[in-house]
Amino acid sequence: MSTGKIGFLLHPGERAAIDEALATAKRCGFATWTALEHADSVTAREAAGTVLLITVGGDGTFLYGARLAAPRGIPVMGVNRGRLGFLNDVELSGLTDAIERFAQQRYRTQRRSLIEARIAAGGEVCTALALNEILVRSRDASVARLRVEADEEVLGLFDADGVVVSTATGSTAYALSAGGPPVDPRLHALVVVPLAPHAVISRPLVLPDEVRVLVTVVHGRVFIAADGISVVNAEDGGEVAIHPGPDLEVVRFSDSPSFHDRLREKFRFGVPHKDPVERLPESDRGQRDAS
């Protein structure tokens, strides 16, 4: 029989959906705990002896779970109950089977890198952890002037709406929407994407993830967010120092979708558009040709 504990981080409304999964975990020899409200304190209390954290919800729940689990060395399994579910490998219908395979050690783990930001603004210093990205963005319609450095070398001085610094995992989130490239999360990389820069020649950059990126607010009023959650506001002279954070182990199985499968399935990346005529019923084609 297995030993240890399995924790369940739940999106509101999902408690009843995991009754069978809880029974399966206990049958496999695991103690269980759940976190819905006050997840930070619950996870801190239950972390000792926890061998797996299962997040049940959308990508936001998975990101939250990653920030809770990575500093404590707890592997994470994502179960999709959201609309996109790009980060989650398991559907709710397959959760009990996934727990059984985990108990039988029929799984592997994939390392994902988190980043940590040290933010100095208004005489205060705070930190934030992110699996996807750190965002520095203008608070109003005016552009901000941002200096971006990597290991004390200037990458650019941007008059822009902001800048996104993403991990490889986060390259398919905000960074992709802003024009950045999708990066396989197995790579050790950071992506720096200026947001609507005034300079014509301003392109996203891909950097090794061991570099330390510093974003300085030269002029403007910005807010800083980690994985979509606003952390603090900053103005002239504010600094956001981004450096490598803890690694996260993501539990995967032999039939888990690959990164490229996800790109095709969720974003239709690289999938050619069909000729619209091919999708028309035969009668409609004739009417179209006649017109």
Give residue 100's identity as a one-letter amino acid code: E
**φ and ψ at 214, to 5 degrees?**
-120, 125
110 within 8 A of 249, measured Cβ to Cβ: yes
Active-site option among 19, 40, 59, 275: 59
Q: What do you get for the CA distance between the two ends of the chain, in Å?
A: 71
Between the CA atoms of 229, 233, 238 and 243, what dihedral angle is there, to the nearest 10 degrees?
-10
State CA 137 to chain mean position distance. 18
Between the CA atoms of 26, 249, 137 and 11, what dihedral angle is there, to the nearest 10 degrees?
-10
Give residue 7's identity as a one-letter amino acid code: G
The percent helix, strand, coil of the chain (3-state, each to 5) is 25, 40, 35
Query: What is d(CA 170, CA 190) in angstroms, rounded to the nearest whole number?
Result: 9
Q: Is 59 annotated in the active site?
A: yes
Could you list the active site residues?
A: 59
